[in-house]
Structure 1
Amino acid sequence: MFIRHARAALPGLAVALIPFSVSTAHEIVGNRFFPATLGIDDPGVNDELSLPTVSSFHTGDDPSFRQRDFSGEFSKRITEAFAISIGSTYSFLHPPGGPTGTGAHGFQNVDTTFKYRVFKDAEHEFVMSVGLSVEWGGTGADSVGADPFNTYTPTVYFGKGFGDLPDTLSWLRPVAVTGQVGYAIPGRRSTTTFGVDPDSGEMTSDTQFHPNVLNWGATIQYSMPYLKSAVVDLGLPDFVNRMIPLVEATLQTPIANTLTSGTMTTGTINPGVLWVGNTYQLGVEALIPINRQSGTRVGVIGQLHLYLDDIDPRGIGRPLFGGPVQPASPFARN
């Protein structure tokens, strides 16, 4: 979960869909376990806690600032298919050439997210969710760039495993792809600031337009737990069998109200690896800017992610409306 990462859903759909049967922890579709990813949101609906997520990178500003982020996010299922999450990020911005300890710091805006799983196909290892993310303007600090207005991002998430491939392509069965497409709509079209020209003494104004932005991204993963349990056991060490190497892409494209922003796509390509335990996972990825406007150096992001539905399936990991979850380790199902 990266800075201003949009995890989302549609809250109104859940009211008439409250199941009172036993549910399953994590997003496991057939034999496929979809892990939480660091750059984009996974398609699952779960009880989970990401704390901390830590990143360090250089911004695309001119001159470029070094930014360090520390964030956390808590997700809670209301029903088996509907969850609400809340998270925020604390940012440190260091100017180029400045002494240690200088620069701005403070919280980014709080994000509240609503997410509903609309489709799940166990045979073809496919899942899709829809969502709505709300970034609450004015809850963060101006000094780190937090907007004073709300931003609303309806989003579609999907995941597809390739376990249904024929035997001749069995080595590709551990592969999975996930993705998301969101449309960020600022609550304010523009902001105008006024000042005084120091030479002429005349009043000046500057208008900044806030664009609508397409937030899109995808991952490609190779699940070693799936390889061992559903394809072939190569006799590798347990540490290796718990790994999921992956590459993520997180991209943003302004597409409306772009008079002052332009329409250039920015983002990063993030190669990395996840290590999956029984009740938690660890992840680390590089952050490779796709162009100068996306950043000036390769950064890094790491995360500790806790599976609350496995840690406490009858307590905090249980949906508010529904039965207790059945722990569903990826190693038992994959």
Structure 2
Amino acid sequence: MSIRRAGLSGLAIALCSLSPVLVSRSLAHEIVGNRFFPATLGIDDPGVNDELSLPTFDSFKTGDIPPVRQRDVSGEFSKRITEDFAISFGSTYTFLGPVDATVPGANGFQNLETTFKYRVFKDPVHEFVMSVGLSVEWGGTGAQSVGADPFNTYTPTIYFGKGFGDLPDTFSWLRPIAITGQVGYAIPGRNFTTTFGIDPDTGLSTADTEFHPRVLNWGGTIQYSMPYLKSAVVDLGLPDFIDHLIPLVEATLQTPVANTLTSGTMTTGTINPGVIWVGNKFQIAAEALIPINRQSGTNVGFIAQLHLYLDDIDPRGIGKPIFGGPVQPASPFARN
């Protein structure tokens, strides 16, 4: 699920020229051999499952001049059609703080989003998985006052994940490490928008054209699974709470690559250190949002999420693929 970051508030557009930063929301967890890939908050993981992220909450200051405090509350539901194919639906409600005493804040829904995702490869021995997907942001379904575009945006994406459980015994302490990543290409349904107005000084008609860039959305995570360490490497006798943690660092980046006449080509995004606590039927996660440059934001924000594993909560009901029988629940704890 994509939400608008810096440079998309309608109230800020009235003051300055802004650039969009898109951050993808994650919605799924995946198990490959002994490897459990949790749902992460910055990018989507490489699997398909029946799950619900509700709520996800974030807060940060945008890269606008002057900056705007933005808070988002979002939810996303993912439903498997078959064991390897899922469709997800997501929505975000945005609160924008006032710019100053003369420009009030705004709030409203972002555009609805739908993602179609298909798992194309899974190698349990080498803990590797890959999926492909297409996300559609439905233009005109959200409020333009909070930056929702009036046109659709289509984003084909490749997702992958790799665990290091196949390392030799001499590197056994590195086996709990896993990486995930995604690369998407966002294609706006409209190349440009022209706004007509009247110059207050001369009374003459004016025309302002904004080009909508095609954006490379890319990012990745590196994570260290304490559940994997305990059940597939060595049990250190740590407290149970610690054995449920997955510390990680994410990067979520966006680079305009085409139709960039008015947007420029600067890469924006955040680096997100955080931690996930995983249970058998849900997980709780929190991360810091550290902007990589001034255009990405003006302070460190945060994001937190409650994520429910519907395929574990009700594997023969709402958590079962529409076509086909129940499949192996995505337990976060590796099995020897």
**1:6, 1:133 within 8 Å by CA — same for their partners in 2?**
no
2:226 alignment partner, one of 209, 212, 224: 224
CA distance in 2, matches of 1:248, 1:110: 25
Q: Secondary structure at the match of 1:228?
A: helix
1:3: which partner in 2?
3
Q: Give the aligned partner of residue 302 of structure 1.
A: 304
Measured against aligned partners, the alpha-carbon deviations of 1:38-94 in whole angstroms (never above 9, x if no partner) come to 000000100000000000000011110000000000000000000000001000000
Within the alignment, does 1:85 sit opposite 2:84 as a pair?
no
3-state SS, counterpart of residue 140 of structure 2: coil
| Amino acid corresponding to residue 332 of structure 2 in structure 1 | P
Residue 7 of structure 1 contacts residue 132 of structure 1 at CA under 8 Å; is this kept in 2?
no
Q: Which amino acid aligns with 2:98?
A: P
What is the rounded CA distance, in whole Å, between the counterparts of 1:29 and 1:98 in structure 2? 54
Deviation string 1:94-146 (CA, Å, 9 cap, x unpaired) is: 024559x9410000000000000000001100000000000000000010000
Mapped contact 1:7–1:133 kept (Cα < 8 A): no
Q: How far apart, in 2, do the equivalents of 1:278 and 1:113 lie?
A: 25
Among 328, 332, 335, the residue aligned to 1:333: 335
- Could you say which residue in structure 2 is the equivalent of 1:257? 259
1:188-267 matched pairs, under 5 angstroms: 188-267=190-269
* CA apart distance, 1:333: 2.8
Contact 1:314 1:325 in 2 (8 A): no
Q: 2:316 maps to which residue?
A: 314
Q: How far apart in 1 are the matches of 2:335 and 2:131?
A: 21
Where 2:325 maps in the other structure, the secondary structure is coil
Q: Counterpart of 2:280?
A: 278
Counterpart selection for 2:33 from 30, 33, 38:
30
- Percent identity over paired residues: 82
Q: Which residue of 1 aligns with 2:14?
A: none
What is the Cα-based RMSD across aligned positions, in Å?
1.7
User: Is 1:58–1:66's contact at 8 Å kept on the other side of the alignment?
Assistant: yes
User: Is the 1:164–1:173 Cα contact (8 Å) retained in structure 2?
Assistant: yes
**Aligned residue in 2 for 1:20:** none
Deviation at 1:328, TM superposition (A): 4.1
Structure 1 residues 182 and 328: CA distance shift in structure 2, 3 A: closer
Contact 2:2/2:25 (8 A) holds in 1: no
| Contact kept? 1:39, 1:248, Cα under 8 Å | yes
* TM-score for the superposition, normalised by structure 1: 0.92
Structure 2 residue 57 is the aligned partner of structure 1 residue 54: yes
Q: What secondary structure is seen at the aligned counterpart in 2 of 1:318?
A: coil
CA distance, structure 2, for counterparts of residue 127 and residue 228 of structure 1:
23
Distance 2:193 2:29 in 1: 42
1:325 offset after TM fit, Å? Answer: 2.9
Distance 1:96 1:7, change over 3 A: closer
1:22 — aligned with what?
Answer: none
Does the residue aligned with 1:300 lie in a helix, a strand or coil?
strand
Aligned residue for 2:46? 43
4+ residue segments displaced more than 4 Å? 4-8
Tell me the CA shift for residue 327 of structure 1. Answer: 3.0
SS, match of residue 333 in structure 2: helix
- Structure 2: where are the runs of 5+ without partners? 5-22
